[in-house]
Amino acid sequence: MERDLAGKVAIVTGSATGIGAATARLLAGQGASVLVNFTRSRTEAEATRDACRAAGGTAELAQGDVAQDADCRRLVAAAFESWGRIDYLVNNAGTTKKVAHADLEGLSAEDFQRIYAVNTIGAFQMARAAAPHLKATGDAAIVNVSSTAALNGTGSSIAYAASKAALNAVTMSLSRVLAPEVRVNAVCPGFVKTRWNEAGVGPEAFAARIRKFEADSPLQRTSGPEDVAQSILWLLTGAHHMTGEWLVVDAGSRIGLGRH
């Protein structure tokens, strides 16, 4: 169902590529104004901004590291100064370190702290900075991009899974304190066909993983960034009676082992 988001304003962190870029484009395509955030990938972020504008929305760039509270506050200020309101926040920025779970010596305290700083604390800081503007609209929404790793204890490393599980807890806590004006939910993608995931294992291993995933999942398909973006859009604009929830988007892979 098409939705008219003209006059709405969204911040999408980590939106140079992948799920963030797909979400920014989708929101802009329905008329929203979108703040495209990046840390290092300026060229890709500029391409996302241009795609948002071509899709029919307005978009601006804002560089910033969500692990830094000052940057979070600056991103929010930039969106409000550009458009005078903030309706939606998508906390998509994330990082990891790929370490086999059995390699207990492969993760340091510093690794945990860096991953938490972006994946968990960054989302909290963005929500805190945006909260006054979101509450002022009276019908706003936050979506935190989590992972099925949070539910299964799987993923690229134990630190990553733990950071996403903590993000789910943050989601529930924020949903209470920001209600009733702001709904706060999380989307938990499974394996997604993104450049980020491919870069971690290489093209051949990535292709093999896609084949195995599709063979094992009930829907026999792999989600792309656009599929996750559609779910994020629904949580932002359609799930009016949902808050504090986690929406799994994984082609049924969590139940795949029981498929006959």
Bridge partners of 12, per DSSP, are: 36, 90
Handedness of CA 133, 72, 232, 82 (dihedral sign): positive
Which token pair is 218? Answer: 């009930």
CA atoms of 145 and 123, how far apart (whole Å):
9
- Write out pLDDT tens, residues 13-25: 999 999 999 999 9
Rounded Cα gap, residues 72 and 92, in angstroms: 13
pLDDT in tens, 159-174: 999 999 999 999 999 9
- DSSP strand pairing (140-145 vs 58-63): unpaired
Report the predicted TM-score, pTM, of the whole model to 2 decimal places.
0.93
Mean pLDDT of the chain: 93
Confidence grade of residue 200 (pLDDT, cut at 50, 70, 90): low
Determine which one of 83, 88, 124, 160 is catalytic.
Answer: 160
Q: What is the mean pLDDT of residues 1-30?
A: 92
88 is catalytic: no
Q: 180: how many CB neighbours lie within 10 A of its CB? A: 9
For 91-142, the pLDDT digits (tens) are: 999 999 999 999 999 999 999 999 999 999 999 999 999 999 999 999 999 9
Q: How far apart are CA 43 and CA 30, in angstroms?
A: 24
Topology adopted by domain 9-196+225-248: Rossmann fold (3.40.50)
